[in-house]
Structure 1
Amino acid sequence: MLKNPDFRQALLKSINIDGRPTSDYDLNKDVQLPENRKLRQAAVLIGLQRINSEYHVVLTKRSSAMKHHPGQIAFPGGKRDDGDKTLTHTALREAFEEIALPQDNVDVIGVLPPHETVTGFQVTPVLGLIHRIYDPIAEIGEVDEIFSVPLAYVTDIQNFRIEAREWRGQMRHYYCVPYGPYYIWGATARILRALADRL
């Protein structure tokens, strides 16, 4: 059982810091978004698991067959279903479906401000501590790989870079935080950067 009240308290304090929503457009100030745009609700789980003496963030590599963000590194999560009472429930349900993480194995700390993606989603990041070691199982067709990265690495601002690539005929700048063979970029990197700014 994971018991570290000081660490939990530090996370809770960081969650309660006022902060603005983030988006995939944060580094592209020339983009003008329509005020009446309709965003689909989604949520992801920033699941922190203690491995040996340090905390790690659980991430997935999405299937190359996925319609949205194929092959990219992502948090477990997805769009809100009609039966989801809250976005926290969405994140926990999706984590169970995608990586077999039992909902009662997560101590939810709170949520970060929402993140808007270029694909029209408003994603709410849910921060939680994973109590017990469990056997992750990747959802066939959606997840190719489940892995983790040290929290200390992905919350060190010096490990982040700003890169650019062409998207829909324009150069788009974005955050990335590469780790070993994993190229973490886009919404996942931006959400981690927001967490890093708080911690």
Structure 2
Amino acid sequence: MEFRISKRVANGDLTATRIKERLQHTRLPADPSRVDPELDGRDWPRVIQDRFAGALQPSAVLIPIVERREGLTVLLTERAAHLKHHPGQISFPGGRMEQSDRDLQETALRETQEEIGVGPEHVSVAGYLAPLPTVSGYAVTPIVGLMDANVVLQIDQREVAAAFEVPLAFLLDSANQEHSSRRYEGIEIPVIAYYYQARKIWGATAVMIAELQKKLLLK
């Protein structure tokens, strides 16, 4: 399948340093259980918006960006096929906030170490995206981090089937987004998807990528 690469990113306009600059004023949410559906960028049905208005389960994911010789990449994982929730789907390492976590950043880094064996010492946090709602009742805060390119992954096969990298330039090119909808509990839900090397990246993960694009490519 043919795909486009963002010329702006491919030409080196967006570097690890520039990413830090773009995100330097971002902060963790004051209330990790609340979201603003309008920030999601999707036209949610009213019944779903009402569901988002209440308190949701706080959670966080890490968006790991890796600086390779050929350019920046984003690390994603494929969830294990036997998992009860979202088996086989593409996601970022992360999960729900535990009582022992000081904040959502610690949640994302803890889950990353548990899932793919990358400790906090191998990640430099660059910034944060606004919490995004999921139809399953979570408020997910994405933590953007620059990950050590030399770290060796130690994948927990109980949770993760595989990990792979996608060029950041590919993910930041709007031409590689596909927009559609799917039915959930009898309601049409807007869906964003990316297709990369036979893998479908969709759902909340795709929305996070779209939000990252807005942050990094602002003029």
Q: AA paired with 1:187?
A: A
Asked if the contact 2:45/2:188 (under 8 Å) is kept, the reply is: no
- 1:71-103: CA deviation from partner (whole Å, max 9, x where unpaired): 110000001111111110111110000001121
2:45 is the alignment partner of 1:26: no
Partner of 1:104: 121
Which residue does the alignment assign to 2:9? none
Give the AA of the match of 1:104.
E
| 2:19 partner amino acid | L
SS of the residue 2:201 aligns to: coil
List structure 1 runs of 4+ shifted beyond 4 angstroms: 20-25
Deviates more, 1:29-38 or 1:50-59: 29-38
Q: 1:53 aligns with which of 42, 47, 70?
A: 70
**1:109/1:128 contact within 8 Å kept:** yes
Are residue 11 (structure 1) and residue 28 (structure 2) matched? no
* 2:180 corresponding residue in structure 1: 163
Give the stretch that moved more between structures: 30-39 or 47-56: 30-39
Alpha-carbon distance between aligned partners in 2 of 1:81 and 1:17, rounded to the nearest angstrom: 23
- Structure 1 runs not aligned, ≥5 long: 1-5
Q: Kindly report the root-mean-square deviation, in angstroms, between the aligned alpha carbons of the 2 structures.
A: 2.2
Residue segments in structure 2 that go unaligned for 5+ positions in a row: 1-13, 28-34
Alignment of 1:129 with 2:146, yes or no, is: yes
8 A contact 2:65–2:72 mirrored in 1:
yes
Aligned length: 193
Q: In the aligned structure 1, how far is the partner of 2:213 from the partner of 2:191?
A: 16
Contact 1:174 1:186 in 2 (8 A): yes
- CA-to-aligned-CA distance 1:36-70 (integer Å, 9 cap, x gap): 52201100000011222211111000112222211
Matching residue of 1:114: 131
Letter in 2 for 1:26: R
Percentage of identical aligned residues: 34
TM-score if structure 2 supplies the norm length?
0.80
Match of 1:88 among 96, 105, 112: 105
The alpha carbon displacement at 1:25 in A equals 8.1
Q: Is the 8 A contact 2:118 2:153 kept in 1?
A: yes
TM-score (norm 1): 0.88
2:165 is the alignment partner of 1:148: yes
**Once the 2 structures are TM-superposed, how far is the Cα of residue 111 of structure 1 from its aligned partner?**
0.9
Could you report, residue by residue, the CA deviation over 1:98-123 in whole angstroms, capped at 9, with x for unpaired residues?
00112101111111111111110111
CA distance in 1, matches of 2:196, 2:215: 21
Q: Does 1:197 align with 2:214?
A: yes
User: 2:68 touches 2:149 (CA, 8 Å); kept in 1?
Assistant: no
Q: How many angstroms apart in 2 are the aligned matches of 1:179 and 1:76? A: 18
> Deviation of residue 30 (structure 1)?
4.0
